[in-house]
Structure 1
Amino acid sequence: MPPPRPQIVRVIDLETTGNAPPAHGVLEIGWQDVALGADGRWELHGEGGWRFVNPGRGIPPVTQAVHHILDEEVADAPYWHDCARQALDPYPRRLALAAHRADFEQQFCTPALTGGAEWICTWKCALRLWPDSPAFSNQVLRYWRKPHGLEHARGLPAHRAFPDAYVTAHHLRDMLNEASVAQLLEWSQAPGLLPRVRFGPDRGKEWTEIADDSLAGFLADRDPDVRFTAETELARRRGGGHVGRATAQQLLL
C-alpha cells in the first residue's frame, strides 16, 4: 500500500498591481506547503512553486518599484481565473491556506477559487505567539527569529511570490509546532491582538501599562486591530481575557 498522503497547509503569496481588486490584478503567485509528519511535527513539504499571471492591465511604476516585475514578463502568462484553482486548491485537499497578512490575499483568492478554504494569517498568529518581536513583518520575523533550516538565498529576493511564501512557511511551521491548527484559525478570524501601543503618548508601552483614561481613548479607534486590543485589555481589567503571550495550556486548547 502507498503511504498515506500528508495533511498539508499551503502557504500562498501574491504580487499584484495594487491592493484593491477588481481595479487591480494578480501578477505572480507563489506557494510552499507545510505538512504534518509521522512523528507529529510539522515541516516544510515539497519544493513549492510559482508562476506569473497576466493581470489584464498595465503594471503601475509604484508597484514595479516594489517587486520589479515587468509588463513583458507577464504578457504571455495565463489570466488569474484560468490558473488560480490549480495553485489554491491542490490535491490532496489541504487543511487550510495561509499567508502573512492573509486579508490581502483573500481579496484576490475568493471562496470560489479556493473551494471555500479556511485561512491562517501568520501575522495575526505572530502577534499572539511572539509578542516580544520588535515588529511583525515577514522579513523582521525572519531575521529576529532565524528559523531553523531557512536557506538565506532561497528566501530572496523579498517581495517576490515564492521567496516570500518560502519564508512565511518557516514561520507557519514553527507556529504549528507551538499551537494547534484550530487555534491558529481562531486567532486568524479575529482582528489582530497588538502586544504594544503603536502611536500616541503611550507608544511602545504594553497595553497593561497604560492608564484607564488612555485605554478608553482607543476603544473608538478606526483601526479594528487597535479597537479589538483595547476591548480585550478592558475585559482583562474587568476579570477576563488577556493581552500578550498565551500560556502553553491555552495554546493546546
Structure 2
Amino acid sequence: MYAIVDIETTGGHASAGCITEIAIYVHDGREIVEQYETLVNPGRPIPRYIQALTGITDEMVADAPYFDEVAHKVFELLQGQIFIAHNVNFDYSFLKHQLDGCGYTLQSKKLCTVRLSRKVFPGFPSYSLGNLCRQLGINIQQRHRAAGDALATVQVFERILTADTEGAIAQALHARSREKWLPLHLPQEQVADLPSCPGVYYFHNAKGKVVYVGKARDIKKRVTSHFTGNSAGRQRQEFLRNIHSISYEKTGTELMAFILESIEIRRLWPEYNNAQKRIEFKFGIYTFEDQQGYLRLAIEKRRKYTYPVFTFNLLTEGHQLLRDLVKAFKLCHKLCFLQTDHDACVGLAEKTCKGACEKKEKPHRYNKRVQAAILHLQASQPSFAIFDGGRTATEQSCILMEKGKFYGMGYLPRDVAVSDSTALKDMLTQYPENEFIRNLLRQYTGSKTARLVNL
C-alpha cells in the first residue's frame, strides 16, 4: 500500500516551520482506497508570501485543528505504508518532525515521484510538479493546495506504475538503495560512480559553482554519509537543496586529501565550508623597529593581514621560544617584552643583555643579533619529504616540507628515489601554503607505509 502525500507549510524547513494543510491518499496500486485532508492551525501567523502562493490565510486556519489533534490519524494513515511525495524528503521531514513532537515515531519506506519520473520519463525539460503534469497531460486542480497537488501526484504515480518496465520502483525500494536519501537534484549515477579511495570531493550548485569541499579516506563512503538521516534543520535542508552535482580528485593518501582540501577551501571559498576560513594559530612573534632604531621582538595575538616571524597556539610555547632566543643571542629581556616593569633589566645581571635597554649598546650592533636570531628560528624549521602510496600501483606520492613551510606535493614513479629537495621540486606541484597545513605536517609522525626523509 502507498500513502501519497502533500502538505502546505509556513516555511521551507521543518525545524522552523509548521504545517498549514495536509492531504493523504492511500493507494493500493490500482486505485485510491482512502483519503484524508484537513487544514491545520500552525499556531503562528502565515507569512504573506505563503498566503499569496497557497491562498491559505490566517482566517482560514483560525478554527482548524492543531497538528497534535490530528497526529494520531495522520500516523495511522502513514505508518506501515510506502510514503510517496513529489520531492519526498521535504514532506517526510516535516511530518516526521511534527509527529516526533507528538510522541509518534514515523518509520516508512519512501518513493520520490521526481526521481522516479526522471527514470521512467527521461528527457523532459523540467520535473517540477506543474511542468511534469503538463508533459503528461494531467490537469491539476487547486495548484499549491495540499489536496490538489496530492491528487496530481497520485496521477503521476499511476502513470509511473504503468510505464515502469525497467523496475525503477523496485530498485528504489530495495533495502540497500540509498537513492531515497539523496538530494533531490543529484543524479544517482554520479554517486554510484564515485571511487572508494582517498581524495577530495566537490559539491556543485545549479550553476556549477562549488558550494562545499570535503576530504575522505574513502570518497564514496564519505559522500553517501552526508545524505543519511533526515535532519529538519534549516541549514542542512538548504545544503541538500543546493547540491546538483559532484566532482572529485583522487589523492594517494588521506594526508594528501587533508592538504588538498585545505588548499581548495581557501581557493574556492565554498559557501558551506566554515572550519578553515579562520586563522588557526592564535599568537605570533612579531618584529618591529622602535623610535630609537632598535629591533623589537614581541608576542601578540594573530590578526588578519599580519606577518609574524613564527606562530603558535599556546602563550607558554611562545614565551619559552623567545626566552631561548634571548639567551642564545644575548638579547634584551625588556626589548623583547619579557620584562615589563621599571626595574633594572634582569639580562644585565645574567650577562645576556649588553645594555641596549639603557642605550649602552648601539642599535646597529644589537639589531644584527636580532636578525641572526630570526634567521636561526627560520632555518631551524624542518625540511623533509614524505613518500607514501600513489593513486596507482606504479606510482608513489610525495609531500615536501622545506624549512618549516609546505612547498607542494605530487606523484613520482614508484622506482624513483630522490633525496635532494631541488630535484624533487621539479617533479612536484607547488601549492600555496597555510598554517593549517604547516601544523598538520609538523605533527605528522609517519605511518606503517609512509617513509619520512630528512633533507
Q: Same fold (TM over 0.5)?
A: yes
Aligned to 1:9: 2
Matched, 1:29 2:29: no
How far apart are 1:123 and its partner, in Å?
Answer: 1.4
Aligned to 2:125: 134
CA gap 1:133/1:180 in 2 versus in 1, 3 angstroms: closer
Residue range with higher mean Cα deviation, 107-116 or 20-29: 107-116
Matched, 1:87 2:74: yes
TM-score, normalised via structure 2 length: 0.38
Name structure 1 gaps, 5 residues minimum: 1-7, 36-41, 196-214, 233-253
Separation (CA, whole Å) in 2 of partners of 1:138 and 1:115: 25
Aligned to 1:66: 53
SS in 1 for 2:30: strand
CA contact 2:26–2:77 (8 Å) conserved in 1: no
Aligned to 1:105: 91
Question: 1:66-90: per-residue Cα shift (whole Å, max 9, x none)?
Answer: 0011112111211112213412432
Matched, 1:44 2:26: no
CA gap 1:189/1:62 in 2 versus in 1, 3 angstroms: same
Matches within 5 A, 1:121-200: 121-146=112-137, 152=139, 155-177=140-162, 178=164, 179=167, 181-185=169-173, 186=177, 187-192=179-184
Where relative contact order (Cα < 8 A, 6+ residues apart) is larger, the structure is: 1
Separation (CA, whole Å) in 1 of partners of 2:19 and 2:203: 40
Aligned to 1:209: none
CA contact 1:44–1:170 (8 Å) conserved in 2: no
How far apart are 1:52 and its partner, in Å?
Answer: 0.7
- Rg bigger for which structure? 2
Aligned to 1:243: none
Separation (CA, whole Å) in 2 of partners of 1:126 and 1:49: 25
SS in 2 for 1:50: strand
TM-score, normalised via structure 1 length: 0.65
CA contact 1:32–1:48 (8 Å) conserved in 2: yes
CA contact 1:219–1:230 (8 Å) conserved in 2: no
Aligned length: 194
CA contact 1:13–1:30 (8 Å) conserved in 2: yes
Which one has the bigger strand percentage?
Answer: 2
Separation (CA, whole Å) in 2 of partners of 1:163 and 1:136: 17
CA contact 2:116–2:169 (8 Å) conserved in 1: no
CA gap 1:85/1:102 in 2 versus in 1, 3 angstroms: farther
Aligned to 1:245: none
RMSD, aligned CA: 3.1
CA gap 1:52/1:115 in 2 versus in 1, 3 angstroms: same
Residue range with higher mean Cα deviation, 215-224 or 53-62: 215-224
CA contact 1:220–1:227 (8 Å) conserved in 2: no
Name structure 2 gaps, 5 residues minimum: 188-201, 213-238, 249-455
CA contact 1:219–1:231 (8 Å) conserved in 2: no
Q: Give me the identity figure in percent.
A: 27
How far apart are 1:164 and its partner, in Å?
Answer: 0.3
Separation (CA, whole Å) in 2 of partners of 1:65 and 1:216: 33
Question: 1:2-49: per-residue Cα shift (whole Å, max 9, x none)?
Answer: xxxxxx1111100111112343211100122221xxxxxx32313633
